[in-house]
Amino acid sequence: MSVSPAPARLPPAEPLPLGLGLGAVRQRAQGLPLVPIAIVATLLLLAVFADLVAPHNPEIGALAQRFKPPAWSVGGSSEYLLGTDHIGRDVLSRLIFGARVSVIVGFTAVIFAGVLGTSLGILSGYLGGWVDQVIMRVTDTWLALPALTFAIFLAAIVGPSEFNIIIILGAVYWTRYARVIRGEVLSLKERDFVRLAIVANCTKWTIMRRHLLPNVLNTAIVLATLMLGVVIVTEAALSFLGVGVPPPKPAWGLMLADGKKGLMAGYWWLTVFPGLCIVLMVLSANLLGDWLRVKLDPQLRQL
Amino acid sequence: MKRFIFRRLGYAAISLVLLSVTIFLFVRVTGDPTVLLVEPGASRDDLEALTIELGLDRSLVVQYVSFVRDVVQGDFGRSFYYRTPVLELYLSRLPNSLLLAVAAMIFSLAIGIPSGILAAVRVGGWWDGAGKIFALLGLSMPSFWVGLLLILFFSVYLGWLPSSGSGTVWHLLMPSFALGWFFAAAHMRLTRSSMLEVLGSEYVKLARLKGLPEALVIAKHAFKNALIPVLTLAGINLVLMVNVAVVVETVFAWPGIGRLLYEGIAFRDFPVVQATVLLAGTMIVVVNLVIDILYAVIDPRIRYER
C-alpha cells in the first residue's frame, strides 16, 4: 500500500442551513424557556377564546348553587369544576374571563407606558439641556412616589373603569422606561453612526427616529416584558382594593376581594385559584423577561 | 462638600415642588375638584362656599400658592368621614405602620441575609438554585395573596393566629411576614451579589492566604463589608414599607397608614387620600436626600462626581 498524499483538507461538513428536521427544531428550541412560553400562550389563548372555552356565564350566577366546592371535594359537582362563589358564579369561567381582563390591561398598559417612556427617554437623552432637565426632574419625582400609592391616588380622582386603569398604569410606570432609555441614548449619541448622521445633515427628528429608536428598542422590549408582571400585580391590587376594574367584570384581583368574604368560613377555592392564576402569569412573564434580557442585551444583566 | 450638599438639597427641593404641583394639578385638571373636595351629598350652597374658600374661581397660580401654604403649615384639610384634621389622623396611625414595617424588616433581613450569604458561598450549587427560585417567587407572589393564604392556613385551619386587628404580638406575625416576604427576596439578591463582590476582592484573598479558616474569612472579613449596601437598601425599604403596606394592612385590618388610605378610597374621603400620597412622596424624597448626603460623607469620590 503506497502512501498517498494527504487529501486536501475539506472544511468539515456544515449542517444544512435552515434544516427543518426535528433535530434542528430541537436545537433551536434549546435554552428557550418553554414552560413560561407555554403558560403565557395558554393564558393568551384562553383570553382570546374565553367565550368558547368558559362553561358558564362569568357574570351571572345561580344563588341556589352558591359556595359549591371544587368538583373533587365532598359536595362538589362536575358542573362547576373549580366551585362557585358567593353568588353562585362558576369560578373556572370567571378565571378564564379574568385572563382576558389581565391580558388586555397588562399588555395595553405596558405598551402605553413603553411608548411614552421610550419617546421621552430619547428626547431627554438626545436633546439634553432644559428638555432633559424637565423630563428627568419629573421622572425622579414620580419615581419617588410608591407606584401603588400613586395609582390609588389617580384612581381615586378619575374613578374606576378598565380604560382608566390602563391610563393610570401607563402614567405611573412610564418613568421606569424613561430613566433607562435616556441612559442608553446618552452613550449611543457619542457613537460614530450618530455623528456621521449629524455630518450628513440629518435633522434631529430623523436621528432620533431612524438611528436612536431602533437601537434602544431591544432594551425597551426587555423592560416591557419585565414590567408586565409588575403591571399585572398592580392591576390586581387595585381591583382588590376596589379602585380597579369595576365589579361585575371578572378580574382576578376582584375575585380575591370577593373570596375574602368566604375566607373565614373556609371557602379556600375562592382565594387559592385566582391567586394561583396571578402568580402563574407574573412568574412566566418574569422568567420570559429574564431570558430575553440575557438573550437580547447582555449589558442589562445588572439591571 | 458644601457644594455637593447644596446641589443635592436643591434637587430635593425641586422634587418636593414638582410633587406638590403633580398632586395639585391632577386634582384640578382631571375633573371637577369640588366633587372630590366636597363631601358627597353636599348642597349647592356648600359647593359654592367651598368654591370660594378654595379659590377655585381664581387663577391656578393663586390656588397653588394657597395650597402649598396650607400644606407647609400642616393643614391637609379635614377628613369627611372622621371629621378631624387629616394630619392628626395620619399621625395617630403612623406608629402602627412603623411597628409593622420594623417587624417586616426583621423578617425580611432574617430570611434574606443568611440565604443570600449561603447562595454566594455555594455559588452555582443547590442552595444557590433554591435561592433563585425563592427570589423569583418573592417577586411574583403578590403580598396580599400571601397574606390571604396565611390567614387560610394559620387562622382558619389551625386556628393559631388571629386573622385581623392589632394589639398583641400574635396580631403582628402574619401581616409582617406577608409584607416582609417581597423584600426578603430583594435583600437576598443584594446580599448575594454584594457578598460575591467582596469574596473576590484582594483583602479576602489575603485573609485566605494567611491561612484563616474559610468560615472565619466569611464571618469576619467578608460579611461586614458585604453588609453595607444591604443595610442601605434596608433603610430605604423601611420607609417604603411604611408607605406600600396598603394591601397587606387591608387584608389584616391593621390600623396603619395603608389602612387609612384604603378607608380614604372606600369612604370617598379625598383629603385623606391626597395627604397620604403627598406625605409618602415627601418621606421618600427626604430619605433619598439623607442617604445621598451620608454616602458623600463616607465616600469622598461621590462628592466630586458630575
Q: pLDDT band for A108, please (50, 70, 90 cuts).
A: very high
Provide the mean pLDDT of chain B.
81
Task: Give yes or no for A286 touching B (CB within 8 A).
Answer: yes
Largest separation between any pair of C-alpha atoms in chain A: 96
The answer to whether residue A29 scores a pLDDT higher than 70 is no
Residue B196, chain A, CB below 8 Å: the answer is no
Q: Measure the CA–CA gap between A231 and A173, rounded to whole angstroms.
A: 8
CA B235, chain centre distance (Å):
10
Place of cell 397588562: A106
The answer to whether A149 and B244 have CB atoms below 8 angstroms apart is: yes
Cβ distance B26 to A153 less than 8 Å, yes or no, reads yes
Cβ within 8 Å, pair A263-B280: no
Label residue A301 by pLDDT band (50, 70, 90).
Answer: very low
Distance CA A283, CA B160 (A): 31
What pLDDT sits at residue B70? 80
A46 Cβ neighbours under 8 A, 6+ residues apart: A53, A96, A99, A100
Inter-residue contact B187 to B234 (CB < 8 Å): yes
Contact B277, B258 (CB under 8 A): no
Confidence band (pLDDT; 50, 70, 90) for A117? very high
| Cβ <8 Å between A256 and B273 | no
| B246 vs A148, A156, A263: nearest CB | A148
Can you give the pLDDT at residue B57? 67
Chain B residue nearest residue A145, CA to CA:
B281
- Can you tell me the mean pLDDT for B47-51? 72
* Residue numbers in A near B23 (CB within 8 A): 153
Task: Say how far apart CA B230 and CA B110 lie, in whole Å.
Answer: 12
Query: What pLDDT is stored for residue B169 in this prediction?
Result: 73
Confidence of residue B216 (pLDDT cuts 50, 70, 90): confident
Nearest by CB to residue A156, choosing from B22, B270, B285, is B270
- Average of per-residue pLDDT across A289-300: 71
3-state secondary structure of A299: helix
Beta bridge partners of B78: B85
pLDDT grade, residue A120 (50/70/90)?
very high
Whether chain A has a CB inside 8 Å of the CB on B18: the answer is yes
Amino acid sitting at position B49 = A
CB of B20 within 8 Å of any CB in chain A? no
Which pLDDT does position A192 carry in this prediction? 84
Helix (H, G, I), strand (E, B) or coil at A5: coil
Higher pLDDT, A228 or A75: A228
Comparison of pLDDT for B76 and B300, the residue scoring more: B76
In this predicted model, which residue has the larger pLDDT, A55 or B306?
A: A55
Nearest Cβ partner for B273 among A153, A259, A287:
A153
* 3-class DSSP assignment, residue A266: coil
Distances (CA, A) of A19 to A16, A27, A255, B123: 6, 10, 48, 38
Residue of A nearest to B251 (CA): A260
Residue A122 has pLDDT above 70, yes or no: yes
At residue A19, the pLDDT reads 44
User: Residue B39's pLDDT is what?
Assistant: 65
Of the CA atoms within 13 Å of residue B120, those in its CB half-sphere come to 26
Task: Write out pLDDT tens, residues A44-55.
Answer: 888 888 777 777
Q: Is the pLDDT of residue A284 over 80?
A: yes
pLDDT value at A298 more than 70: no
Average pLDDT over residues B43-51: 72
- Best-predicted range by mean pLDDT (A245-259, B27-41, B72-86): A245-259
Question: Which residue of chain A is at minimal alpha-carbon distance from B241?
Answer: A146
Q: Å from A54 to nearest chain B CA?
A: 24
**The predicted structure's pLDDT at residue A302:** 46
Judge: B251–A268 Cβ closer than 8 Å, yes or no.
no
Grid cell of A240 as nine digits = 382588590
Residue A15 has pLDDT above 50, yes or no: no
Report the range out of A28-42, B44-58, B63-77, B109-123 with the highest average pLDDT.
B109-123
Note whether B204 contacts A: Cβ–Cβ < 8 A: no
A164-178 as b/e: b if 16+ CB within 10 A: bbbbbbbbbbbbbbb
pLDDT of B131-151, one tens digit each? 888 888 887 888 888 888 888
Which pLDDT belongs to residue B181?
A: 85
pLDDT confidence band for A2 (50 / 70 / 90): very low
* Cα–Cα distance measured from residue B152 to residue B251, given in angstroms and rounded to the nearest whole number: 12
CB contact under 8 A, A153 and B277: yes
Question: Cβ separation of A282 and B140 shorter than 8 Å?
Answer: yes
- Distances in Å between the Cα of B211 and the Cα atoms of A88, B122, B123, B208, B222 are 70, 20, 22, 5, 15
Among residues A147, A303, A229, the alpha carbon closest in space to that of B243 is found at A147
Q: Do A138 and B18 touch (CB under 8 A)?
A: yes
Mean pLDDT for A131-155 is: 86
Alpha-carbon distance A7 to nearest alpha carbon in chain B (angstroms): 46
pLDDT at A111: 93
Angle at A253 between CA B163 and CA B22, to 5 degrees: 105
Summarize the confidence of residues A151-174 as an average pLDDT.
87
Which residue pairs, CB below 8 angstroms and at least 24 apart, start in B282-285?
B282/B16, B282/B19, B283/B239, B283/B242, B283/B243, B284/A144, B284/A145, B284/A146, B284/B236, B284/B239, B284/B240, B284/B243, B285/A141, B285/A144, B285/B12, B285/B15, B285/B16, B285/B19
Quick one: residue B124, left, alpha or beta (phi over 0 = left, psi -120 to 50 = alpha)?
left
* CB-side neighbour CA atoms (13 Å) of A78: 0
Burial, A34: exposed, middle or buried (Cβ in 10 Å; 0-12, 13-18, 19+)? exposed
How many other CB atoms are found less than 10 A from the CB of residue A43?
Answer: 21
Q: Is the ipTM of this complex over 0.90?
A: no
Residue B221's pLDDT is 77
Is A90 in a helix, a strand, or coil? strand
Which of the residue ranges A75-79, A159-163, A278-282, B125-129 has the most confident prediction, judged by mean pLDDT?
A278-282
- pLDDT at res. B53: 67
Residue A113 has pLDDT above 90, yes or no: yes
For residues B167 and B252, what is the distance between their CA atoms, to the nearest angstrom? Answer: 12
Asked if residue B111 has pLDDT above 70, the reply is yes
Sequence-distant (6+) residues with CB within 8 A of B299 are: none
| DSSP code string of chain B | -HHHHHHHHHHHHHHHHHHHHHHHHHHHHSS-HHHHHS-TT--HHHHHHHHHHTTTTS-HHHHHHHHHHHHHTT---B-TTT-SBHHHHHHHHHHHHHHHHHHHHHHHHHHHHHHHHHHHHTTTSHHHHHHHHHHHHHHHS-HHHHHHHHIIIIIIIS--S-SS--SSHHHHHHHHHHHHHHHHHHHHHHHHHHHHHHHTSHHHHHHHHTT--HHHIIIIIIHHHHHHHHHHHHHHHHHHHHHH-HHHHHHHT--SHHHHHHHHHHTT-HHHHHHHHHHHHHHHHHHHHHHHHHHHHH-HHHHT--
Q: Is the pLDDT of residue B73 over 90?
A: no
Q: Would you call A283 and B14 a contact, using CB atoms and an 8 Å cutoff?
A: no
- Name A76's bridge partners: none
Give the percent of chain A with pLDDT over 70. 86
Cβ neighbourhood burial of B244 (10 Å; 0-12, 13-18, 19+) = buried
Q: Is the pLDDT of residue A115 over 90?
A: yes
Q: For residue B42, what pLDDT is reported?
A: 66
Chain-centroid distance of CA B232 in Å reads: 14
Model confidence at A121: pLDDT above 80: yes
Residue type, B248: V
Q: Give the contacts of A205 (CB within 8 A, at least 6 positions apart).
A: none
**Which of A40, A138, A145, A172 has the most B C-beta neighbours within 10 Å, making it the best mutation to test the interface with B?**
A145
Model pLDDT for residues A190-216, shown as the tens digit of each residue: 888 888 888 888 788 888 888 888 888
Measured between beta carbons, which residues in chain B are less than 8 angstroms from residue A242? Answer: 265-266
**Which B residues 159-188 touch A at CB under 8 Å?**
163
Cα angle at A155 between A288 and B277, to 5 degrees?
Answer: 95
